[in-house]
Structure 1
Amino acid sequence: MIVIHGGHFSSLDGFYEEVSNVLMKDTDWKVGTLDGFDDILYGGFGVFENKEDVEIVWKESQKSKEDLGLKITQEFYQNKIRQGKPFNTKLIQQKLNDLNEGKGQTLFEILVEIIRSHKNITLTLG
């Protein structure tokens, strides 16, 4: 069982640090992007092997849901739009528009979706 402690972070960078510590201990590689987070969940180079059945418990997930909610997600997209290349700013603007209209996903929801997309991983929000 792998435990993500929502009380250990309050930002996306903090989340990346937390999952690097629990999923990638004893490696030099750190998570720093959503794609990178998705990649480590395939296993094989962290604390579990490729396709190994894994349970992740996200403690204090309600705190994380608030911390990684609407405001921080809006800032996340706005920063990418400001940076421009290599980001697809049209796509990101659409995601921001959807979010502002109540149709888009927050960072918390995106992270949960990424975890749940891995069929060998069971996620428990606590």
Structure 2
Amino acid sequence: MREKFIIDGARFDTIEGFFCEVDEVFTKDLTFRTGHNLDAYNDILRGGFGRHERGEPIAILWKNAAKSRSDFGYPATAKYCEDKLKRCHPLNRDIVKKQIIDALNEIGPTLMDEIIEITLYDKRSGHDCTLEFEE
């Protein structure tokens, strides 16, 4: 049986708030601060950060998901990419600039879509998550 974890969209409305929620839900007694980015989120889902063992299958219930879909729509996606552009490798700048343009034109995946994709599937990290939404 999968251990169940609850992410509650009522507890955050920014991507930084989401990362704080992830720390609260999935980590315990760490002696370091986790990275607050999507790569770190992916790593945390893999386990080994105090709440579930590395590679252990887990179930995630996302409460208030409709609010999160709104919070992490195209405007938040554009802002996230603008922030990413400030610190990305110079060879990636054109890709990130296109992501900003796409988000401003409401094309392609939103930040919420990216979070869902990472949650449900990432063969590199070896995590095994199910995801259920409570609107």
- Scaled by the length of structure 1, what TM-score is found? 0.88
Q: 1:21-72, CA deviations, whole angstroms, 9 ceiling, x for partnerless residues?
A: 0101222333411100011111122311122121010100110110111111
Given the alignment, which residue of 30, 33, 36 partners 2:37? 33
Number of residue equivalences:
125
Given the alignment, which residue of 4, 8, 11 partners 1:5? 8
- Scaled by the length of structure 2, what TM-score is found? 0.83
Is the Cα–Cα contact under 8 Å of residues 55 and 122 in structure 1 kept in the other structure? Answer: yes
Q: How many angstroms does 1:123 deviate by? A: 0.5
The ranges of structure 1 where at least 4 consecutive aligned residues each deviate by more than 4 angstroms after the TM superposition are none
- Between the aligned partners of 2:13 and 2:67, the Cα distance in structure 1 is 8
Given the alignment, which residue of 116, 121, 125 partners 2:129? 121
Structure 1 residues 31 and 61: alpha-carbon distance in aligned structure 2, compared to 1, 3 A threshold: farther
Alignment of 1:1-126 (within 5 A): 1-28=4-31, 29-81=33-85, 83=86, 85-86=88-89, 88-118=92-122, 120-126=128-134
SS, match of residue 124 in structure 1: strand
Q: Which runs of 5+ in 2 are unaligned?
A: none
Is the Cα–Cα contact under 8 Å of residues 74 and 106 in structure 2 kept in the other structure? Answer: no
